[in-house]
Amino acid sequence: MIKPRLLVDDTVVVADRVAGLLGLLHAQRATRITRLTGKHVTVTDNGVVCRWRRSTS
């Protein structure tokens, strides 16, 4: 199974693991994943949040 490998296999590049998990767990297309930037991702003590929608501001 690919999901467990993406979660724990440190021989896979981290960026590939994250992109793979976003595709598998959130059903996001590769084109949307590749458009993510740092401003779409928020890291807090409680976890990480990805905003998929465009900002209205």
pLDDT tens track for 6-44: 888 889 888 888 888 887 777 777 888 788 888 888 888
Q: Phi and psi dihedrals of 41, rounded to 5?
A: -120, 130
pLDDT band at 48, cuts 50/70/90? confident
Threshold 0.75, pTM exceeds: no
Instruction: Assign 18 to helix, strand or coil.
Output: helix
pLDDT band at 54 (very low <50, low <70, confident <90, very high): low
- pLDDT of 49 > 70? The answer is yes
- Cα(39)–Cα(51) distance, rounded to whole angstroms? 9
Q: How far apart are CA 24 and CA 17, in angstroms?
A: 10
Alpha carbons 25 and 2: distance in angstroms, whole number: 11
Cβ pair 48, 41 in contact under 8 A:
yes
